[in-house]
Amino acid sequence: MATTVVINNNPGTTVSLKPANKSFASVSVAPSSNVSLGVLTDVDVSGADNGETLVYSAANGKFEASSPTINNLTGGKF
């Protein structure tokens, strides 16, 4: 007898399988396709605009959309 568990877009869900026959258990996890950045728990894409990059913010523990900045370039060829 097989048990099928489907979880849709709920990363906070935990599934535990406890077989009646404790000698064998098998869990298959299939990768999800077409995952957008907005569903990731550590990415904030609200207010993102064209040309922005994702930058990690230690203040909120997430990657946020930000305008790219380049500081202190000296010499070289660009």
Domain ranges of the chain: 37-66
Q: What is the pLDDT along the chain (78 residues), one digit of tens a residue?
A: 556 666 665 556 666 666 666 655 566 666 667 778 888 889 998 888 998 999 999 999 999 999 887 777 777 776
Q: Where are the alpha helices (DSSP H) in the chain?
A: none
Distance in angstroms (rounded) separating the CA atoms of residues 51 and 49:
6
Residue 59 DSSP code: T
d(CA 76, CA 72): 12
The predicted model scores a pTM of 0.47
**What's the pLDDT at 8?**
63
